[in-house]
Structure 1
Amino acid sequence: MTAVETPEATLEPRVRRPLRLAELWLLMLAVAAGVGAFALVGMSISDALPTHFWFESLALVVLALVAHVVVRIRAPFASQTILPAAVLLNGVGLAMILRIQESGARGAAGADVVRNTQWSALGVVLACLVLWFLKDHRSLRKLTYTAMFASLVLLALPLVPGIGRSINGARIWIHLGGFSMQPAEFAKITLTVFFAGYLVSNRDTLALAGPKVLGLQLPRIRDLGPILLVWAASLAVLVFQRDLGTSLLLFGIFVAMLYLATQRFSWVLIGLLLFAGGAVLAAEVFPHVSQRMTGWLHAFDPAVFNARGGSGQLVAGLFGMANGGLFGTGWGQGFPYLVPFSFSDFIYTSLAEELGLTGMLAILLVFLILVERGLRTAITVRDGFGKLLAGGLAFTIALQTFVVVGGVTRLIPLTGLTLPFMAQGGSSLLSNWIIVAILLRVSDSALRPSTLPVRGQVGQGRIAPADGEHPGVGNADGEHPGTAPIQVVPPRVGGDL
């Protein structure tokens, strides 16, 4: 068999797998930060290691190593900063939950670090399974409309009598077999898959058709159908489930992915106008939305502060952050447990009090690195579906982080969403670890060198568009045309940081 006839399958082993040493070192630092925080919590509160120190530390080390090995085997060319960033955020979040639980305060009764560690372990296991069995992210495109159906089912489950539950006024939970879960956390993933598959097939129509008014390329009326449908679905979540955060998240993901697919600012403007109009209407018609708006605008008004469901929790969080100052009170030295739900919805204010403004910015920087790696993956990957999928998932983490941090700092109204990887909650941990796994898979595809026969000889390289070719999202099917000239770019064997 000549070199030209050699099948690609026989060439794949010749691509040397990177050692991923950078990821290993970063994981060691991430685990050390978590274990160190566990120890500081106990030493500050009782001058001894906390009750669950060895369990938490061993669990964090094992989970990080298992995830690293699976990534090393199944996605060796993926970005080497995505996994350490997720482990660092998860570890610091567990340390804060442990700190609140160890305080023994009445307001800390719901904190359960052991249970949250178990959910973290299950999330890492699910991420490893996704990496192991999802060999090519493009296979998800075949599930475009299946993902749409699954999304509708997941969003409707909390409304089903018998399994749906209302907690704190929001009907976003289901209870099955003694376990509670938020289906909307998984719907954000399936919706992103659906949006990516739908938009990669219809982006030419959305981007090119329609009149131009005042410098903006407006869509045709019939092309507004999908965005109006998603707008109606997000308002339905807001009205029937009383969940402002999920409504904002779902609609924001779709508008962001529309912009990624079409590069038309008019879609963003239309989306913002539609959501703003819907939010104003909901604030006038529905009491629970009006209550959130009043608590945001008049947080320090005594009548609002003392009202049931008023701004007391928000103001307590603000005072906690003020108490933290620039460098914080230190692990175990503050009073974060005075804020209701300090281990879930308000965990960011708890971290801000004990780590200070410096710690807040460091945590936001880690989130920024995670999102930047996702967007970099979207830029690098060569198929249109992968670009939209990675960009949508990265924006999901970015938007959820902004909504949570903006809510507790009173930049925007409180929404009830949880901070990814850090807040107590099984559904959030599972869904966000699945997002990490998909980003790693797409990143591996983007950075993996392709093995191609070049001029009668076996060569290794990465397919790139020739000079003058558009390196964007490809043709209408999301792939580069097979007739395009091919250049071979030398592979980056060491992976990408």
Structure 2
Amino acid sequence: MKDAKIRMLIPIFLLTFAMFFNIAVFQPVFDIGALIMAAVMCVLIAYAHFVVNKFFSSGDKFLVTFMSVLPVIGIAVLYRLNPDIAIRQVLWFIIGMSVYIALVIILPDLKRFAKLKYLYLVGTVVFMAMATFIGETRFGAKNWVDLGFISFQPSEFGKIFFVFYLASSLKNFSTLKSLLEPGIIVLVSIGFMVLQRDLGSAMIFSFIAIAMIFAATSKVKYLLASFGVGALGALMSYALFPHIRRRVMIWLKPWEYATNESYQIVQGLYAMASGGLFGQGLGNGSPEYIPVRESDYIFAVIVEELGMVFSFGILIIYFLLFYRNIRSALKARSTFTSLLAVGFSVMIAMQVIVIIGGVLNMIPLTGITLPLISYGGTSMLTVFFSLGIIQKISEEA
């Protein structure tokens, strides 16, 4: 068993040093800092594996493996783009991994948190509304709050409270009447996202709610009704808000607006086309032509330099991560913890689908991060927190 656990780490270590060594060699002068970065990443990953496998051996052992590979890829690509940003991302990775381990170690039985429904309700409304009143606009969406000493996206923390609220509210579902309050909170949350022009988050919140309602009720009619309400809301938003019509316009006709509104989409498509199956090599691409390449469009950079085959491997890792998360949901000991696992699983999966679908121009582009890969401290903390909760649920199961 011990040898098997070591063997699980070896491919991660090889990938880490291979990517950072390639970056070090690519520099005009051999960059020893890249190898130091690789060593730091390996130590952190080894420590997380040691804690989970040593003290929580009955939980999901594959979860920590999948969530270790993705930050390695993200930080390596960020280091190739901007070493300063990569160093900051490593710090967020350390904090996120610490949160993940702390949740598994410190949290008691999660079922006792099911009683705090109205605390979650207040947290949801506060964080979802915050940017509407005191936020600032970045890249077209008013979804950032700058407190001077730190800036963050309140909706990222709102997701946590949103999932906890729905899980505590839906755990004792009995009749249609019991869906009234959570339905109002869902509509209010999505409404704030639309007002903030954060269309990606609005879509993610919608699918979280639909998945959790279906998981709680097991009724197809509620699933169809949720999709119907969502479709009606999308049509009303399209009719009422010009920025939504603009996003749809540049999605349908990107080449007509390639020099202005759809410049980012077109440059991303050019980059991915030039990468082909196996890429141009890490450090050999031209990511400087891609706007917002460290966060929203990092997937286009990965495809250009590492190829479509490598990128498809990333999608497989995301799929396996989702599969393990849903597996924990099915084995959970209570409805509350099962709904938590479903909510957080869908949250991460939809974030992947929405941003990659936007980069590939399969759906209208929305500015969100690729989980654990894109630069963004708030997003990384949210995902690690979610995975820590799911790891705890798998341990209890």
TM-score by length of 2: 0.94
Give secondary structure in 1 for the equivalent of 2:367. coil
Residues 194-243 of structure 1: per-residue CA shift (max 9 Å, x gap) = 111111112x324xxxxxxxxxxxxx7x845532441242022212x111
Residues 137-171 of structure 1: per-residue CA shift (max 9 Å, x gap) = 2232132221221111111222343xx32212211
CA distance in 1, matches of 2:172, 2:377: 34
Counterpart check, 1:174 vs 2:136: no
Residues 228, 159 of structure 1: CA spacing in aligned structure 2 closer, same or farther, 3 A cutoff?
closer
Q: Which residue of 1 aligns with 2:9?
A: 27
Deviation for aligned residue 1:24? 4.0
Residues 286, 257 of structure 1: CA spacing in aligned structure 2 closer, same or farther, 3 A cutoff?
same
Q: Which residue of 2 aligns with 1:129?
A: 102
Q: Which residue of 1 aligns with 2:230?
A: 275
Deviation for aligned residue 1:20? 6.3
Give secondary structure in 1 for the equivalent of 2:284. coil
Residues 317-373 of structure 1: per-residue CA shift (max 9 Å, x gap) = 011111111111121111123101111100111111112110111000000111100
Superposed CA RMSD in Å reads: 1.9
Deviation for aligned residue 1:27? 3.0
Counterpart check, 1:97 vs 2:60: no
CA distance in 1, matches of 2:252, 2:4: 46
Q: Which residue of 1 aligns with 2:252?
A: 297
CA distance in 2, matches of 1:67, 1:147: 29
Superposition pairs of residues 192-211 of structure 1, within 5 angstroms: 192-202=163-173, 204-206=174-176
Q: Which residue of 2 aligns with 1:306?
A: 259
Give secondary structure in 2 for the equivalent of 1:112. helix
Code of the aligned partner of 2:69: L
Superposition pairs of residues 137-176 of structure 1, within 5 angstroms: 137-161=110-134, 164-176=135-147
CA distance in 1, matches of 2:262, 2:236: 22
Q: Which residue of 2 aligns with 1:391?
A: 342
Residues 62, 231 of structure 1: CA spacing in aligned structure 2 closer, same or farther, 3 A cutoff?
same
Code of the aligned partner of 2:225: I
Out of 319, 329, 338, the position equivalent to 1:368 is: 319
Q: Which has the larger radius of gyration?
A: 1
Between Structure 1 and Structure 2, which shows a larger proportion of strand residues? 1
Give secondary structure in 2 for the equivalent of 1:416. coil
TM-score by length of 1: 0.76
Q: Is the 8 A contact 2:372 2:380 kept in 1?
A: yes
Q: Is the 8 A contact 1:31 1:87 kept in 2?
A: no
Give secondary structure in 2 for the equivalent of 1:294. helix
Code of the aligned partner of 1:322: A
Q: Is the 8 A contact 2:212 2:343 kept in 1?
A: yes
Give secondary structure in 2 for the equivalent of 1:290. helix
Code of the aligned partner of 1:93: G
Between Structure 1 and Structure 2, which shows a larger proportion of helix residues? 2
Deviation for aligned residue 1:180? 1.0
CA distance in 1, matches of 2:3, 2:383: 24
CA distance in 2, matches of 1:403, 1:38: 29
Out of 198, 201, 208, the position equivalent to 1:243 is: 198
Code of the aligned partner of 1:247: A
Out of 32, 36, 44, the position equivalent to 2:26 is: 44
User: Mean alpha-carbon deviation: is it higher for 54-63 or for 392-401?
Assistant: 54-63
Give secondary structure in 1 for the equivalent of 2:144. strand
Q: Which residue of 2 aligns with 1:3?
A: none
Code of the aligned partner of 2:36: F
Out of 333, 356, 362, the position equivalent to 1:382 is: 333
Q: Is the 8 A contact 1:27 1:87 kept in 2?
A: no
CA distance in 2, matches of 1:364, 1:349: 13
Give secondary structure in 1 for the equivalent of 2:61. coil
Out of 64, 68, 75, the position equivalent to 2:49 is: 68
Give secondary structure in 1 for the equivalent of 2:81. helix
Residues 194, 226 of structure 1: CA spacing in aligned structure 2 closer, same or farther, 3 A cutoff?
closer
Q: Which residue of 2 aligns with 1:255?
A: 210
Residues 189, 354 of structure 1: CA spacing in aligned structure 2 closer, same or farther, 3 A cutoff?
same
Deviation for aligned residue 1:393? 1.1
Q: Which residue of 2 aligns with 1:442?
A: 393
Q: Which residue of 2 aligns with 1:460?
A: none
Superposition pairs of residues 482-493 of structure 1, within 5 angstroms: none
Give 5+ residue unaligned stretches, structure 1. Answer: 1-18, 103-110, 207-219, 447-497
Q: Is the 8 A contact 1:231 1:274 kept in 2?
A: no
Give secondary structure in 1 for the equivalent of 2:60. coil
Give 5+ residue unaligned stretches, structure 2. Answer: none
Q: Which residue of 2 aligns with 1:463?
A: none
Q: Is the 8 A contact 2:89 2:377 kept in 1?
A: yes
